């Protein structure tokens, strides 16, 4: 993740555990028994709470493109802040 901030790589996949080292406020999403099931988790993360975390990350230089389930009680940050309509070279 540090290499992304320094420009060594452009993108990568991170778990909430890794992200929360740089964004401590994300630790609240890891609380045990926070969600009743995966549908509940996605409703929370795709709603206002998820948007709040996404916008905080953007303000600190990181844009989340997609979220995915990684197992029982863990998920990456979901959401797409803007639609990807084409790929272009920087």
> What is the SS3 string spanning 2-37?
HHHHHCCCCCCCCCHHHHHHHCHHHHHHHCCCCCCC
Residue 89 pLDDT > 60: no
pTM over 0.85, yes/no: no
pLDDT, tens digit (0-9, with 9 covering 90-100), for 61-77:
788 777 766 655 444 44
The domain ranges of the chain are 2-59
């Amino acid at each position: 993740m540090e290499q992304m901030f320094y420009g060594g790589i452009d993108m990568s996949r991170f778990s909430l555990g890794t992200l929360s080292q740089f964004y401590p406020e994300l630790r609240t999403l890891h609380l045990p028994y926070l969600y009743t099931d995966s549908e509940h988790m996605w409703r929370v993360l795709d709603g206002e709470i998820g948007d709040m975390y996404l916008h905080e990350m953007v303000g600190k230089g990181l844009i989340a493109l997609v979220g995915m389930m990684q197992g029982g009680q863990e998920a990456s940050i979901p959401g797409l802040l803007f639609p990807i309509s084409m790929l272009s070279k920087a």
